[in-house]
Amino acid sequence: MFSLFYDPIINYYEDMIKYTQDEDLPEFSEIYLRVAFLKVFGKDYAIKPDVLQLYRKLLVLYYCQQYPSISNVFPIMERCFSLNNITNIIAQESDLKDQWEKFMQSEISNNMNEKTQKWFKSISQFDNTNKKRKI
C-alpha cells in the first residue's frame, strides 16, 4: 500500500490550493483534480469520471489523516459528500486504498511519465495507524 501523504496527485493539488490561496476549495472536485491528474499522467491522458470519484473519496481519507475530527473534514468535502457519505468512506478505507493502488499500478507502465513512475515506485508503504475520529 502507499501513503496518501506521498501521492503525487495530492502534491500537485496542494500546490494549486496554496497558489490560489483558496481555503474554501470551490472547484477542487473538477479543476484542481483534473490539472493534478494531467501533471502526473500527461496532457493526453483521458480521466474517467469513476477514477475522479475514487480520488475524491481518497481525499476524504487524506483529510481524515490530517485532522482529528470528521467535523473538521466535513466543511472541506461537503460539496461532494454528505456527512453520512464521509462516515461510509472512512469505513471503506482499506477497500478504497486497494482500488487506488490497483489503478495506479495499472497506469504506471501505460501513462505516467518516467520521473513520476520512479517516484511512485519508491514511496513508502501506507501507515495503517487507526486513529479514532470524533463525530
E runs forming strands in 26-134: none
Tens digit of pLDDT at every position of the chain (135 positions): 445 555 677 777 777 666 655 555 444 556 667 777 777 777 667 778 888 888 889 888 988 988 889 999 898 888 889 999 999 999 999 999 899 888 877 776 666 556 555 555 544 334 444 444 444
Handedness of CA 99, 58, 18, 67 (dihedral sign): negative
- Domain residue spans of the chain: 4-114
Q: Are 39 and 67 in contact (CB under 8 A)?
A: no
Which position has the grid cell 481524515? Answer: 64
Q: What percent helix, strand, coil does the chain show, rounded to 5?
A: 65, 0, 30
At residue 44, φ and ψ (nearest 5 deg) are: -90, 5
